[in-house]
Structure 1
Amino acid sequence: MPHPTTVVCQGLALALALGASLPAWALDPPTQLQVPTLAFDDQAIILVWQKPADHRLIKDYRIYANGTLLGSATANNDQVSPAKPYIDWFYEQDTANFHYRIGIHSYTAQGLKPDTQYRFTVRSVGADGRESADSIALVQRTTRPAPVFDVKQYGALGDGSHLDTQAIQSTIDACVPGCKVLLPKGTYKSGALYLKSNMTLEIAEGATLLGSERAEDYPLAGYIQYPYSSTVRPASLINALPRDPRKHQTFENIRIVGKGVIDGNGWKRRADTVDERGQALPSYLPSDNTRYMQDGVLAKAQVEQAVARGMNVKDAYGQMRSSLITLRDVKNVFYGGFTVLNPAFHGIMNLETENVVLANTTHMTYDANNGDGIEFANSKGAMVFNNFFDTGDDCVNFAAGTGADAVHQKPQEDAWIFNNYFRKGHGMVVAGSHTGAWIQNILAEDNVSDGTDAGLRMKSTHFMDGGARNVTFRDSALRNTVKQAFIFTLDYNDPNAKLDYKRSTVAGQFKDIHVSDVSVENAQGAAIEVKGDSRRNAYHQGLVFERVRFSGPAKARLAGLKDSRFDNVVFSETDGANPWQVSGSHGLTFEDVRPAPL
C-alpha cells in the first residue's frame, strides 16, 4: 500500500496536469521574515520576507501580530508605497495579460505602542483566500520615543530665503545619542550639513530642505571618491563625512526619514511632465559641460567657481558638483518616506557603507544630468524596495572602483531590490561603469518599469578590471525600454569622467547572470545586447535567460559571449526576420527559443 504522502503528491501532480489549481493548504509559507536595518521606531515596524520557491499560486500575504490579523501585504502597500499606484496602472493597461505579475512582500505595521514587543508571522494566500501555515515567527520591539530637537528652537526660520545652515547644524551638534532632529513644516534653505552617529533626521510632511544656490556654502574639502582619486569633491547637501577629508571617521546608525522633500536646487526647472496617470511630475533642463551656464543653478555656481580656480571646464563639470546626500563608512542606514528633487550631481551616494535600506521614497530628478537615484560603491548589504524612480540617470547603481588599484578595495556585494517602479532613467538596475573590485550577489525581483532606457544595465571597459557576477534579475515586468532591455557591454564611455587612475590590463567581465520570468513589452533598440571582445579574449560568460518574452521591434545582438544558455526566450513580433544576431561567440545553447536562431 503506498504511503499517504505519496498518494497526496500524486494527486497534486495529476491536478496540475489537468489544469486545476493547488489547494491553499498546499501553499508554502514565506521564508526569511525580517525587519530591515533600522526600519522601526516607536510607532511602526517594517517587515519583509522572501517568497517561497514555489510561489506560482500565491496571490497575496497576510500578516499577524501576536496572533491577530493586521492585514494583507497588497492593501498595506497601497497605503505606504509611492510605487504602488504606478504598478497598478501598469497592469490595468495589460489587457492582453502579456506581463508577469509581481508579488508584494513587505508590510509596514503602523500605530504600534512604544517600547513594546510584537510577535509577527506571515502566511501565503491563494486565489481562493485560503492560507498557508505560519512563517517562522519574528519578535521585534518598538523603540522608546526619541528626544526631539526641533531646528526652529535653535534659530532656523524655515522661510525659504534666509540661510538656515548654522541653525540646523547647531541642532545636529546638540543632538544626544538616539535623538531626532526635526525639520517641521517650512522651507529650510541650507548649505552642507554634517550628520553624526546614532541620530534620526526627519523632514516632516510639508517641510523642504532646500539646497543653497551658492557654491561657497558647500566646503571644497568634501571627499575623494576612491583612495587613488586625485580630486577632492565638494560636500553634499547632507553628509556623513569627516569635516576634514584627510581624517578617517566611521559612523553608525543613521536614519533620514519623513514625508517631506529634499531639494538640491541644482538646475532650472522646465514645464512639468504630465505622466501616464495624469499626475504632474517635475522636469529639469537636461544639460552638459557646454550648457551648464544657462541651465544650472547650484550646478552653474559650482562649475564657475572651479573654473575660476583654474580647473578646466570638463573636469569641473564632472567632479565639482554636489550630490544630494553622501555617506561614507557608515554602518546601518535607513532612508524612508521622503521625496528627492533636483540634485546638482548624483542623488544618494553610499560609499563603503554596510547595511543600507531605502524604502518608500520618491525620486523625481528627470532630466537632471547625472541625477541618479541611489548609488552604492564598495559597500556590503543593501535593500531597496517600494520606491518610485523618475531619474536623470541610473535609478539604482552599483560601483566598485576603477582600474588596476581597485583590486585592493572591497567588492560591492549583497543587495536586494524589489517592489519598485522605474519610470525614466538610464537603467533600472545598473552595475558599473566602475567595476574594478567586482559587483556581486545582487538580487532584483518583482519590479516594474515603463520607459527606462534599459532594464538590467551592465557597463565596463577594456581597462577597468573586475566586473559583475552572481546577479539575478527575475519575476519582473518591463514596458517601453528605449535602448536595451538587457545590456552587457565593454564599450561604455562617460564624456565627463576624469581618467585619474591607473588603467588595468584586464577587461571588465559580466558572468553568472541569471534572468528569468521577465516580460518586456514594446522593446525598442536591443532586447538583449552583449558586447564582449573576442579579438582580445574578453568574453562575458555564464548568462542564463529562462522564460523571458519580448514584444516590439527589438532583437538580440550577441558578440563576445561564451558558455551561456537561452531557454524559452520568445520574440512575438519579428515580421518574419531572425531576431538573433550572433558573432564572435561560442558555447551558446538555445532551447525552446522562438523564433530559433538560424
Structure 2
Amino acid sequence: MPYARIAVVRKQPLAQAVLAVLSLGCSLPLWALEAPSKVQVPTLAYDDQQIILVWEKPANYADIADYHIYANGQLLGSANANNDQVSPAKPYIDRFYQQDTRNFHHRIAIHSFTANGLKPDTEYRFSVRSVGRDGKESGDSPVVVQRTTAVPALFDVKKHGAKGDGSSLDTAAIQRAIDACTVGCKVLLPKGTYKSGALYLKSNMTLEIAEGATLLGSERAEDYPREGYIQYPYSTTVRPASLINALPRDPRQHQAFENIRIVGKGTIDGNGWKRKADAIDERGQPLPVYLASDNTRYMLDGLLAKAQVERAVAEGMNVKDAYGQMRSSLITLRDVKNVFYGGFTVLNPAYHGIMNLETENVVLANTTHKTYDANNGDGIEFANSRGAMVLNNFFDTGDDCVNFAAGTGAEAVKQKAQQDAWIFNNFFRQGHGMVVAGSHTGAWIENILAEDNVSDGTDAGLRMKSTNFMGGGARNVTFRDSAIRNTVKQAFIFTLDYHDPNAKLDYQRSTIAGQFRDVRVSDVSVENAQMAAIEVKGDSQHGAYHQGLSFERVRFSGPALARIDGLKDSRFDTIRFSETGGTNPWQVKDSDGLAFQDVEPAPAQP
C-alpha cells in the first residue's frame, strides 16, 4: 500500500518559546486587553425599535470573558446576558457545556448584541468594550452610528381579507396586502393561522409573522405556480414556486430586488410531510420529527410533497426527476440585494428551507429551524451569492444546516463565485453538516469564516463535498473556536466521492475535479466522532488532490480515526487524540508534503 511522504516535527519547549519572545523586546502590552474590532450593524438588522450589533474578536482574545455594550456613553448590558434573551441557540449551548463535566470542550465567545426598546427615527452611537476574566474593561471600540427607522406604514393582512382560521385559503388576501405595501412598509400577519400558496414579495418591504401567527403552506400543488425558477442558467428543469418568493412571476424574465426583511416571532410551516411523534430533546423540550422519505415512499409520507410529485408525474416526468426537482422550498429569493431574516421559526418544508440565489448581503439572525427529518430539509442555502452572515440560530434539520453552492460542471465557470460568509454563535443539533461546501462547487466557494459554534448530533462538522467532474471547489475557508460532539459520521470531511441519488445530471461535466484547498481548522474540540475524526478523499489515481489544509490545536476524544487519501502540502500542528483504544489513529496514503508537528499520537513513519 502506498504511503504518504510526511514529516514529523516536535515543538520547542514552552520555556524556550517564552525566552524567544522576551528576547525580541516584547513587554506586557502584547497581552493587554484589546477592544473588539470592526463593530458593525449587519445589513437591515434594525427597525424602529431595535438595532443588532456584531463585532470581530480582537487578535488576542484568550483572556476575554464577555463584552460590554454602550449606547451614547451609557452601559446597555453584556453580550452574554443579552444573548440569553434573544438567541434560540443559547439554551442549547448552555446545556452542552453543563454536560461537559470533564471540561474538555472549547468555550465559545458571544460577539453580538440586540439593543431593544429604542425610540423610532433616533440616532444612537454604540461602542463595545472587552471584559477580562478579572472584570476589567478594555478601552472603547470605534463608535458605530446607527439610526432607527421611522414607524413603518402597516398593512395588516386581515384588513385585506385574510381569515387566519387555518382552513380558508388566504393567498389572495395576503398578496393584496403585499401589492398595496408602500416603500418601507410592513405587511403584518397577526395572531392566527394563515393557509397560503405561493406569495411574491417586492423590494423595500418587511413581512412580519407576529408571535402566535403561522404562515401555513397549502398542501395543494395547484397553489404553487408550476413555473417558478431555474436553479442555474444551464438547468433544464423549471422548479415550482416556493411558499415565499422574491422572483419574477415569469422565470424567463429577469427582475432584481432590494431591501427585503422577513421577521417576527411566529412560524413559517411548509406543510410538506406528515409528522411523527415529537422527540424530546436534551433540554426536555419537544421537537417535531417528520417522516423521512424518498422517491419510493413519498405517496405515503408526503403532504405538499406528495401532491407536487404526483402532478409532475401526471405531466409525464419520471418519478426520480419529479421527486428531485418538483417540490417547493419554503423561501426562495433570487437576485436580491440586502436581506434580513430574523426571529421566526421554520417547520416542515416540502423541499429546501431558505434558498438565496445570486443574492448580496443576507443576514439570518435569531431564527429556529425544526425540519428534521424532512428529506432535503436544509436550513439555509446560499448559491453564487456574496455576503452572508448567520448568527444566533438553532438548527435541527433534515439535510445540511448552512450550505454553500456555486454551480455544476463546465458551464459554472461563467457564473459568479459564492463568496464571503460569516457563521457564528449558532447551535447545530441534527443535520447532514454544520457548515457545508458543495456538492455544487463549479464556480468556487470562497472566503468562509465559521467560528464560535456548537454542535451535538450532526452527521458532520465541516462538510466539504464534490465530485471528479464538478469543477471548482472551495478555498479560503476558516473553521475555528468551536465545540463538536456526537457526529454521526465525520467531524471533518473533504471528499470527491459524493453522490446524490436524486440529482439530475442536466449539465455538461467538467474535465476538472472539484478541489478543497487553503482550509484552516483551529482551536476546535471534538468528542465522539463516530465514523472518522478527519476524512480526506481525493482522487489520486487521476491526479486530483486536495491541498493546503491546516489543522492547529484540535483535540479529539474517542476512537475515530484520521483517514487521509489524496492530500498534498498540508500541516497538522498540536493535534491530540485520546481514548483511541491503543490504536494509532492516523491512516495516511497516496498523499505528499504533509507536515506533522506536536501530534499525539504521532503518525507511523512510512
Can you list the C-alpha shifts for 1:300-359, whole angstroms capped at 9, x where unaligned?
Answer: 000000000010000000000000000000000000000000000000000000000000
Cα distance in structure 2, aligned partners of 1:581 and 1:51? 36
State the TM-score, normalized to the length of structure 1. Answer: 0.96
Cα distance in structure 1, aligned partners of 2:252 and 2:327? 20
1:404 pairs, out of 399, 407, 410, with 410
Can you list the C-alpha shifts for 1:394-440, whole angstroms capped at 9, x where unaligned?
Answer: 00000000000000000000000000000000000000000000000
1:527 pairs, out of 527, 533, 539, with 533
1:347-426 alignment to 2 at 5 Å? 347-426=353-432
1:199: Cα distance to partner?
0.1
Contact 2:271/2:349 (8 A) holds in 1: yes
Q: Which amino acid aligns with 2:394?
A: F
Contact 1:24/1:125 (8 A) holds in 2: no
Q: Tell me, yes or no, if structure 1 residue 592 matches structure 2 residue 598.
A: yes
Cα distance in structure 2, aligned partners of 1:552 and 1:342? 34
Match of 1:117 in 2: 123
Can you list the C-alpha shifts for 1:560-592, whole angstroms capped at 9, x where unaligned?
Answer: 000000001111011111100001100000001
% identity of equivalent residues: 82
1:222-237 alignment to 2 at 5 Å? 222-237=228-243
Cα distance in structure 2, aligned partners of 1:527 and 1:198? 46
Contact 2:45/2:51 (8 A) holds in 1: yes
1:41 pairs, out of 26, 29, 47, with 47
Cα distance in structure 1, aligned partners of 2:331 and 2:317? 24
Can you list the C-alpha shifts for 1:249-283, whole angstroms capped at 9, x where unaligned?
Answer: 00000000000000000000000010011000011
Match of 1:464 in 2: 470
1:106 pairs, out of 82, 106, 112, with 112
Q: Which amino acid aligns with 1:568?
A: T
SS at match of 1:53: coil
Contact 1:25/1:131 (8 A) holds in 2: no
Q: Tell me, yes or no, if structure 1 residue 573 matches structure 2 residue 576.
A: no
Q: Which amino acid aligns with 1:560?
A: G
Cα distance in structure 2, aligned partners of 1:116 and 1:146? 14
Contact 2:120/2:150 (8 A) holds in 1: yes
2:35 pairs, out of 15, 29, 46, with 29
Match of 1:321 in 2: 327
Q: Cα distance 1:23–1:269, how it changes in 2: closer, same or farther (>3 A)?
A: farther
Cα distance in structure 2, aligned partners of 1:15 and 1:228? 56
Match of 1:214 in 2: 220
1:26: Cα distance to partner?
2.0
Match of 2:4 in 1: none
Match of 1:7 in 2: none
Q: Tell me, yes or no, if structure 1 residue 243 matches structure 2 residue 249.
A: yes
Contact 2:31/2:60 (8 A) holds in 1: no
SS at match of 1:85: helix
Cα distance in structure 1, aligned partners of 2:266 and 2:20? 54
Match of 2:289 in 1: 283
Match of 1:427 in 2: 433
State the TM-score, normalized to the length of structure 2. Answer: 0.95
Bigger RCO (CA 8 Å, 6+ sep): 2
Q: Cα distance 1:556–1:50, how it changes in 2: closer, same or farther (>3 A)?
A: same
1:54: Cα distance to partner?
0.6
Match of 1:8 in 2: none
Match of 1:298 in 2: 304
Q: Which amino acid aligns with 2:67?
A: Y
SS at match of 1:592: strand
Cα distance in structure 2, aligned partners of 1:400 and 1:13? 48
1:23: Cα distance to partner?
9.8
Match of 2:569 in 1: 563
Unaligned runs of 5+ in 1: 1-11, 17-21
Cα distance in structure 2, aligned partners of 1:14 and 1:120? 40
Contact 1:191/1:217 (8 A) holds in 2: yes
Contact 1:24/1:132 (8 A) holds in 2: no
SS at match of 1:77: helix
SS at match of 1:284: coil
Which runs of 4 or more aligned residues in structure 1 lie more than 3 Å from their structure 2 counterparts after TM superposition?
12-16, 22-25
Q: Tell me, yes or no, if structure 1 residue 513 matches structure 2 residue 519.
A: yes
Q: Which amino acid aligns with 1:496?
A: N
Contact 2:466/2:497 (8 A) holds in 1: yes
Q: Which amino acid aligns with 1:73?
A: A
1:86 pairs, out of 84, 92, 115, with 92
1:14: Cα distance to partner?
12
Cα distance in structure 1, aligned partners of 2:139 and 2:360? 34
Q: Tell me, yes or no, if structure 1 residue 485 matches structure 2 residue 454.
A: no
Cα distance in structure 2, aligned partners of 1:85 and 1:564? 37
Q: Tell me, yes or no, if structure 1 residue 171 matches structure 2 residue 177.
A: yes
Cα distance in structure 1, aligned partners of 2:97 and 2:563? 29
Cα distance in structure 1, aligned partners of 2:488 and 2:310? 34
Contact 2:171/2:196 (8 A) holds in 1: yes
Contact 1:356/1:383 (8 A) holds in 2: yes
Number of positions where the alignment pairs a residue of Structure 1 with one of Structure 2: 583
Can you list the C-alpha shifts for 1:502-536, whole angstroms capped at 9, x where unaligned?
Answer: 00000000000000000001111010000001111
Cα distance in structure 2, aligned partners of 1:561 and 1:275? 38
1:13: Cα distance to partner?
8.9
Contact 1:24/1:126 (8 A) holds in 2: no
Match of 2:11 in 1: none
